[in-house]
Structure 1
Amino acid sequence: MENLTLEEMVYLITNIGFPMAVCVILLRYVLQTIGSRLDKLDSSLLRLNRSIRELDTETKAKHTASERKKEE
């Protein structure tokens, strides 16, 4: 999302009023900030999920190997 220029801010203030212009500017800022943070959170969750699956696979393999040793 691009930054608002001074001309765009003046246009917003003159056409919709100062309180609404501030709300629009803050909304754009919040959406931009939260969007990037959500992307980082999503990638972290994907890495965590992958790690958990790998650990689960390793644990199952070790359990299977120990069960085979007990049977022998």
Structure 2
Amino acid sequence: MRHRHRGDLPSPLTPSGHLLSAHVAQSSGIGAINRAALNAVGTASYPPFRKKMPKQDMTFNVRVHLSAQHSWLLRL
């Protein structure tokens, strides 16, 4: 059985690459996955903006995908 989940996390960054906040905008439907996605976005490091990018804070949408396959073996 294959399970696929996706979550969207809008993430505002400063021009220096500092994450201002993160929240789940579209839930995966599973709390543990949402929390893991928030943790991943919150602990990641982001590079400074390139020279041609705006000099003000910008919000980037981070889309997190999780896919897992489960196989169960029943022994009698």
Same fold (TM over 0.5): no
The structure whose residues are more often helix, as a share, is 1
**TM-score, normalising length from structure 2?**
0.29
The structure whose residues are more often strand, as a share, is 2
**Which of structures 1 and 2 has the bigger CA Rg?**
1
Larger RCO, structures 1/2 (Cα 8 Å, 6+ apart): 2
**TM-score, normalising length from structure 1?**
0.30
